[in-house]
Amino acid sequence: MRLLLTRHGQTDWNVAGKIQGSTDIELNETGVRQAEETREKLKNETIDVIISSPLKRARKTAEIIASGRNIPLILDNGITERCF
């Protein structure tokens, strides 16, 4: 088994240097573009399933990476960033 890990794309809070914790922040334009670039880099990888935090920034990154492919997406509260 091979495990691929990726981090969510950029948010405005990342740019501002703010700790997001479990605050549900959306991706910004750069973050969407980063997710699209990651999708392109992974296009030839066999991916059986994507497991993501349900937070918007992680979920949107995962949805973009999975788009155009028949990859199941599982949202798992157990990997949600901890609350500060």
Domain span holding position 23 = 12-79
Residue 18 falls within a domain, yes or no?
yes
Residue 57 falls within a domain, yes or no?
yes
Structure confidence by residue, pLDDT tens digits, 15-44: 999 999 999 999 999 999 999 999 999 999
Residue 25 falls within a domain, yes or no?
yes
Q: How far apart are CA 10 and CA 19, in angstroms?
A: 13
Task: Determine contact, residues 66/73, Cβ cutoff 8 Å.
Answer: yes
**Any idea what DSSP says for residue 28?**
-
Residue 67 falls within a domain, yes or no?
yes
Q: What is the pLDDT of residue 4?
A: 96
Q: pTM, whole model, 2 decimals?
A: 0.93
Give the domain CATH number at 75: 3.40.50.1240
Residue 1 falls within a domain, yes or no?
no
Question: Is residue 45 flagged as an active site residue?
Answer: no
Structure confidence by residue, pLDDT tens digits, 40-79: 999 999 999 999 999 999 999 999 999 999 999 999 999 9
Residue 19 falls within a domain, yes or no?
yes
Question: Is residue 37 flagged as an active site residue?
Answer: no
Domain count, the chain: 1
Catalytic one among 26, 36, 63, 81? 81
